[in-house]
A and B are shown apart, each in its own frame.
Chain A
Amino acid sequence: MPSEPATSLLIFLAVAQATAAGMLVAARLLRVRARAPARLKDTTYECGETATGVTWVRFHARYYVVALFFVIFDLEAVFLLPWALGARDLGPGGFVAVAGFVGVLMLGWFWALRKGSLRWQ
């Protein structure tokens, strides 16, 4: 007799597998079949819009920096929100802790700024 969490996990796994497999089988049974391999079926958008260019273009590295900046501020929100909810109970100690956290993040931001990460050229 396996222990309780193991049983529930196995049930969960089985249901997940069955759902995924069931969807694929249902799609195969229900789908509309093209009579012959049509050229239109192979286009990106089957509604008639022609795709231009290829997807394997290189994005400029500056987008990567923008993404990193986004992560800095995104991460800040993740931590600030729970603090904002409990700010009253946490009192000044909580404020100091959060200020320290934001301060360290700002140091990183300041460093990136000084190193010219926001220069667009």
Chain B
Amino acid sequence: MPPWIQVFALELAVTATALVVLVCDALRPCRARTLAWFSVAALATALCTSFVVEPAGTAPHGVYAAGPWSLFFERLFLAAGILGVLGSLDWLESRVARRPAEYLFLMLMSLVGAMLLAGARDWVLLVVAFELMGIPLYVLAAYAKLDGPPGEPQLAAEAALKLYVTGAASTALTLFGLALVIGAGGSSSLAGLASPDVAPLASAGMLLVLAGFGFKLGAVPFHMWVPDTYQGAPTPFVAFLSVAPKAGGLVALVVVLLHGWPRHHELWAPALGVIAAASMVVGNLFALPQRDARRLLGYSGVAQMGYVLVAVCARSESGVAMALFFLVSYVFTNFGVFLVLHAAAENSGGHALDQITGLSRRSPWLGAALLLFVLSLAGIPFAVGFWAKLFVLLAAFEAGLVGLVVTGVVLSVVALFYYLSVARSTFMADGRSAEPVRAGLALRAAISLCLAAVLGLGLWPGPLLAQARLAAAAFGGGP
């Protein structure tokens, strides 16, 4: 074993888990429950180990750099993986019991791709990791082709096709842009484009790469797939899709822009500013008329990505730190809101806003959790989303991006309207049925973890903020 292999220790652990799950099921078909709890245990062990032994160092030829920066994201993705497996467990067991191992394998491999992104310092590794993260998602989106919630049209195939076509198009854009950039720089290293004034072709390449990552982020104008895919794909998977690949897309964007091209900000910063502002405006305004909770959350996710891009626009170390804080807040909050929605829809047969009415009567605990999550998304104090929005806008203000800050603040007020309409549905008394909502142990555990994170970090954001600052300092964000 070469000594540098330890920089990939966490990724290798997750890969091994995925292979074990796949092979065990092939040898002797296992129950979904067994495989899923095994995966959760392995991911939790890896997460805990990462606090004891911190991988650090670089891989040969400087293609990968492990340190506090990559570790921050590896931990975030491991947490997202635990939530993803826990959230899918009951659904896997009851609905798609025939092929649980493949579902878990694909989710874990997608996770490995996401974990590799933060430390990648070479275009080849970055693109391979990005695709490793993206390709399993196409399969997962179509996983419940005919097993969607009863009483709703079966849209999973359509959802997967839309995700696949836009994903493939975005990859093509990225690769073509990369060909131009690498051609101009003469090196596949991320920082290979050294000279600040570049040929027009290379700048066109940069914009193409930006557009390619924009698709994965679901930022305007590359957001078309988001609401349709969220509506059609299985909800426990959408919970994962709405956070992990988005965080992955964002970390890739940060690494590329702030590590690779910090000296070319005159080229990309205006484009990024326009994308951020457009995402906030379009996401928030289009969420207003939505009647399906998943479509609403899809547009809300587009808007949230706008906010985090504002922090990247600041091009400062504190901006990067605030983007990290925002991402953590977004991961737990959005996961929580989708999982509560999943629990509610499993019992009431649909995701429309008027089908979750009276949720608080049927299950006071789930109703309260949903209220807290939407308040956090809206940015109400004492939920973690408040600090996230505040820090992001402060960082942008420090960097002098007054226009973006004003846009963000104004649209936060608009966002409050539709987030509170979700809460209103939850607490409206005349629900369709009065039966209590049943949710399995794993789903309840996942929701509790999200709830604990949203409340805990909301009341006590200090330690996470310190970690985010540490990671950003290690990254050396900004020119």
A residues lining the B interface (CB < 8 Å): 2-3, 5-6, 9, 93, 104, 107, 110-111, 114-115
Contact = CB atoms under 8 A, between A and B. Distances in A.
B409 interface: no
Interface residues of B, number: 11
A78 B241 CA distance: 33
A111 B23 CA distance: 7
13 contacts: A2-B199, A2-B200, A3-B199, A5-B183, A5-B184, A6-B199, A6-B201, A104-B19, A107-B23, A110-B26, A114-B26, A114-B27, A115-B26
Interface of B: 2, 19, 22-23, 26-27, 183-184, 199-201
Nearest to B99: A115
Contacts, number: 24
Contacts of B26: 110-111, 114-115
A5 B24 CA distance: 53
Nearest to A104: B19
Contacts of A2: 199-200
Contacts of A115: 26
Contacts of A111: 22-23, 26
A110 B199 contact: no
A13 B406 CA distance: 46
A114 to B, nearest CB: 4
Given A3-B199, A110-B26, 7 more contacts: A5-B199, A6-B199, A6-B201, A9-B201, A107-B19, A111-B23, A111-B26
Nearest to B19: A107
Contacts of A107: 19, 22-23
Q: What 6 A-B pairs are tightest by C-beta distance, nearest first?
A: A114-B26, A3-B199, A111-B26, A6-B199, A6-B201, A111-B22
Nearest to A111: B26
Nearest to A7: B199
B2 A5 contact: no
